Structure 1
Amino acid sequence: MHRLFVALRPPSDIRALLLDAMGGIANARWQDDEQLHLTLRYIGEVERPMAEDIATALDGVRAAPVTFRIAGVGRFDGGGRPGSAVWAGISPREPLAALHAKIDTALTRAGLEPERRAYLPHITLARLLRNAGSPDRFLADQAMLSSAPVTLDHFLLYESRLRSTGATYEAVARYRLDR
């Protein structure tokens, strides 16, 4: 089985900005440099033939390069816990939402179920485990986190491997934007 997702990899200066902002939440599982990405579409576990169909379908996605910047931070509610993750926000959202929709359409044509969740472009900074401290101070301190705009001309298909220390990600295919 292959556990896959489609994402953008922020350039090193954006990753450095995000890494510098991390900290201040007890027992949070902070992402490392290799884990920082902006998910365009989570796929999940698939068999090899479907993985090959996915790779072919993504090659047919046509879109312009995307420009975005880091814009603040937020958290996903963990259903009664302080929050299951904290993330860096992205602005503007519309170009990424349009690219997400094109990727979702291509993957649906390849045989996957369409994405049912609303798409919110973000970069996960930390996972908050049950014993994690409150993220409130971090959210207040980093509320104005921002970067200069960056333009990316490709997206990646990643394979994820779960480990006890967190997930590791390997880019298995690269797809150019601007075609």
Structure 2
Amino acid sequence: MTREHLDRLLEQALLADDHDSLASRLYDVALDYSSGDVSRASILVLAAEEWRAAGQPARAMECFQRAVEDGGDAGFDARAGIADTLFELDRPDEAREVIETIRAEGNVSTATAHTIAETLVAYGDLQGGSNGPPRPPSAAMRTIRSRWRCCARATASGSISGCRKTSSTSSSPDDRASRGARRTGRAP
């Protein structure tokens, strides 16, 4: 898969606000993957984020797990995505175990650390597990986080045209989500 092909897929999904179709297409591309500019693991992570945006965290979990098994460069440790999805599936103890495993192994990249911190903050787990049971983020917050992550990962892999199309003047993830909501008439 080339970055240009990925850009076109992301752009079409952003314009149509059709996360199910994009997730399915990305997953199929990853399964049939042979070579290209973008790693299979990156494609699986993008598919996982789209499944989450479509409200299907179990399918997202499968994609994150396949990305880990693939071992390719995904821009961050895909286990951080697994932890985030475990929180979403109301399995906080398992999520914390995954996070502790990542931390214990050391050499945590900035992108992985950011994803973990964002997850803990989103679920009200500011002390990494000492504040009691986590609270799930609102649907609006999940959408904003998902859209921001999609663009952040695409930017990190060099595929940014789809994200630029959604942002005319501001680079703030909240502003992009708000503009998308105004354009589609849906809440972010």
Structure whose residues are more often strand by fraction: 1
Report which of the two has the higher share of helix.
Answer: 2
The structure, 1 or 2, with the larger RCO (C-alpha pairs under 8 Å, 6+ apart) is 1
With the length of structure 2 as denominator, give the TM-score of the two structures.
0.27
